Structure 1
Amino acid sequence: MTADVWLPLPPETIEGLPEGLDYLFWNGGEDGRQEFPGDPADCVFYAVPYMQPAALVVRPFPRMRSVRVVQTLSAGTDAVESGVRDLPPGVLLCNARGVHEASTAELALTLILASLRGVPDFVRDQDRGQWRGGFHPALADKNVLIVGYGSIGAAVEDRLAPFEVARVARVARSGRTTARGPVRPDADLPSLLPDADVVVLCTPLTADTRGLVDAGFLARMKTGALLVNVARGPVVDTEALLSELESGRLTAALDVTDPEPLPADHPLWHAPGVLISPHAGGPTSAFAPRAKRLLTRQLHRFVNREPLDNVILTTGRTGA
C-alpha cells in the first residue's frame, strides 16, 4: 500500500511539499465525473476539492479506510459533514481557517457599501444612459452587528475600522473579550438586533445556526436595516426574508442563498432592495497562495506527527 495524498491543486504548483508521500491530483473534474486518481483505500490525507457539490466530495469516503486527515479548503465543513460517518474512527476533519478571511471580508464591505450607496441602480442607469442623482445612506455613523465572530467576522471588523461607523457589536456562540471589545453570546441577539443598521452574517452553518435568521429574527431588526449574508444560505429563512424585502421594511445583500445556485425563476432575484452575488466571497486571486500555504503547513505537520491546525472534529468521538 502507498501513502497517497489527494490534492485539488496540481502538486507541481505547490512549493515545499514534504517528501515521502505520493501526491495525486483530484478536483472532481468540470462535470464531477472525473475518475479517482488512485485507490481511495491508499489515501492517507484527503484535501477536498473546492467549490464542488457535497455529493461529489464525499463520494470516496466509504472506500477511504486508511485516511487520517480530511482537509477542506473552505471556511466551513458543512459540505463534507454528511459523509463523516462513512470514515474510519480517528480521522481529523480540518477547515481552511486563514485562507478566506481577506477575500470574504473584502466582499462583505463591498456588499455593504454597494447596497447603502445605491451602486446597483447606478449600473442600471449607466446601461440606460440615464443620469439620476439622489440621497443615499453612508456607512459612516452606522451601528454594525457581526453575527459569528470567528476569524472572518474579525476580518470584517478590521476593514470597518476606517469607515467611521458609530459602533460594532459582536456575537458568537459564547461570550468573550477581545482587543476590540466584548463578544456577546448568542442569547443576547434579540436585544442587539433593534439597534443595528447593518447586520453581517459570518457564522458557520451548524444545526444551531440553520434557520437562525427566521421571521422572529428579522422582525427584531429595525426598519430600514441591511442584512448581509457572507455565511451560508440556509442560515437565513428565505421565505421570511422575501416577506420583509417585499414589504420594503428591510434590504439585503446576499453572497449565499437557499437554494443555491438560485434558480433563474426564483422570486429572490427580483425582490426589491436585494443585491445578490454568486457565492463569490472565497474564489479570488487571494485563494490559491493561501490554500497552498495551508496545505504545505498541514502536510509538514502530518509527516512530522505534529498537531494539525484547524481541527474541527475527530471521527468516532461523541457527536462526530
Structure 2
Amino acid sequence: MTADVWLPLPPDEIEGLPEGPAYRFWDGDEDFPADPADCVFYVVPYMKPSEVGVRPLPLMSSVRVVQTLSAGIDHVQPGLRHLRPGVRLCNARGVHEASTAELTLALILASLRGLPDFVRAQDKGEWLGGFRPALADRSVLIVGYGSIGAAIEDRLAPFELARVARVARSERTTARGPVHPFTELPSLLPEADVVVLATPLTDSTRHLVDAGFLARMKDGALLVNMARGPVVDTSALLTEVQSGRITAALDVTDPEPLPAEHPLWRTPGVLISPHAGGPTSAFRPRAERLLVDQLNRFLNQEELRNVILVTGAAST
C-alpha cells in the first residue's frame, strides 16, 4: 500500500510540494489515477458537479483529509457518510475572498448604475441617459459575515455608505462594528438598500430568503446572492422581481446552471453571472499556496487549517 495524495492540479506544476507521498492527478475523469483505497489526502476537483467529487469517497478507506478548493462544502457533504470516523474536512478559506468580493462590488455597481441597460443600448446605438441610483449614501446588509463577508465590507468601505449592517450565526463584535444574530434579520431588512448574501448553505440557511424575507425588504432594494442558489427560494424571488418591487443580482441560482428557458433570464431588474465569483486569475496561486501549506502540516502532523468538521462528530 502507498500513501497517495490526489490533486486536481498537475503536481509538477505546484512549486513546493513536500516530498514523501505519491501524488496522483485527478480532476474528475472517468478513470481513477490509482486505487482510491490508497489515498490518504483527497483534494476534491474544483467546479465539478457534486456527484463527480463524491464518487471516489466510498472507496477511500484510508483517507484522513478531504480538502475542498471552494469556500462551501455542501457539494461534498453527501459523500461523507461513506467515510470512517475521524476524517477531517477542510475548506478553501483564504482562496476566494478577494475575487468573490470583487465580483460582489461589480454586481452591485452594475445593477445600481444600470450597466446592463447601457450594454443593450450600445448594441442598438442608443444614447441612454437619465439618473440612476448611486452606492454612496446607501445602507448595505451583509448576511453571512465570515471571511468572504468581511472581504466584501473591506471593498465597500471607500464608497461613502450610510451604514453597513452585518448578520451571522452568532452575535459578536468586530473592528468594523457589531455582528447581529440571524434572529435580528426581520428588523434589519427594512432598513437596507442592498442585501448581500454570503452565508454557507446549511439546513438552517436553505430557503432563508423566502417570501417573508423578501417581503421585509424595502421597495427598490437590491438582493445580491453570492452564497449558494438554494439559500434563496427561487419561486418567491421570481414573484418579487417580476412585480418590479425589488431587483436582484445573482452569481448563483437554483437550479444551476439556470436553464435557458427559465424566466429569471428575461426578468427586468435581474442581473445574472454564471457562478463566477471564484474562478479568476487569483484562484490558482492562492489554491497552490493552500495545498502546499496543508500538505506540509499534514505530513508534519501539525494542526490543519480550515477544518470545518470531523466525520463521526455530532455535526456530521
TM-score, normalised relative to structure 2: 0.99
Question: Are 1:5 and 2:5 counterparts?
Answer: yes
Q: What secondary structure does 2:76 align onto?
A: helix
Q: Which amino acid aligns with 1:117?
A: R
Counterparts of 1:1-320 in structure 2 under 5 Å?
A: 1-29=1-29, 33=30, 35-320=31-316
- Report how far residue 26 of structure 1 moved: 0.4
Give the Å deviation of 1:75. 0.4
Structure 1 residues 72-118: Cα deviation after superposition (integer angstroms, max 9, x where no partner): 00000001001100111110000000000000000000000000000
Matching residue's letter, 1:4: D
Q: Secondary structure at the match of 1:218?
A: helix
Indicate the RMSD between aligned Cα atoms, in angstroms.
0.5
1:217-257 residue CA offsets vs partner (Å, 9 max, x unmatched): 00000000000001000000000000000110000000000
Q: Distance in 1 between matches of 2:37 and 2:85?
A: 14
Separation in 2, partners of 1:23, 1:69:
14
Q: Shift of residue 318 of structure 1?
A: 1.4
Question: Following the alignment from structure 1 to structure 2, what is the Cα–Cα distance between the partners of residues 272 and 240?
Answer: 16
Paired residue total: 316
How many Å apart are 1:215 and its aligned residue?
0.1
Query: Match of 2:75, SS?
Result: helix
Q: Secondary structure at the match of 1:111?
A: helix
In structure 1, how many angstroms separate the alpha carbons of the residues matched to 2:267 and 2:203?
Answer: 28
Q: Following TM superposition, by how much is the alpha carbon of 1:271 offset from its aligned partner in structure 2, in angstroms?
A: 1.1
For the residue of structure 2 that corresponds to 1:49, the secondary structure is: coil
What SS is found at the alignment partner of 2:61?
Answer: coil
- 1:12-32 CA deviation, whole Å, 9 max, x = no partner? 111111111110100014xxx
Q: TM-score, normalised by structure 1?
A: 0.98
TM superposition shift of 1:319: 2.6
2:141 match: secondary structure: strand
- 2: distance between equivalents of 1:319 and 1:183? 24
Tell me how far apart the structure 2 counterparts of residues 13 and 264 of structure 1 sit (CA, whole Å).
Answer: 37
Deviation at 1:272, TM superposition (A): 1.6
Secondary structure of the equivalent of 2:308?
strand
- Cα separation, 2, equivalents of 1:21 and 1:7: 12
| Structure 2 counterpart of 1:256, one-letter code | V
Q: Which amino acid aligns with 1:260?
A: E
| Residue 6 of structure 1: how far off its partner (Å) | 0.2
SS at match of 1:182: strand
The one-letter code of the counterpart of 1:18 is P
For structure 2, list consecutive stretches of 5 or more residues without a partner in the other structure.
none
Look up the equivalent residue of 1:7 and give its one-letter code: L
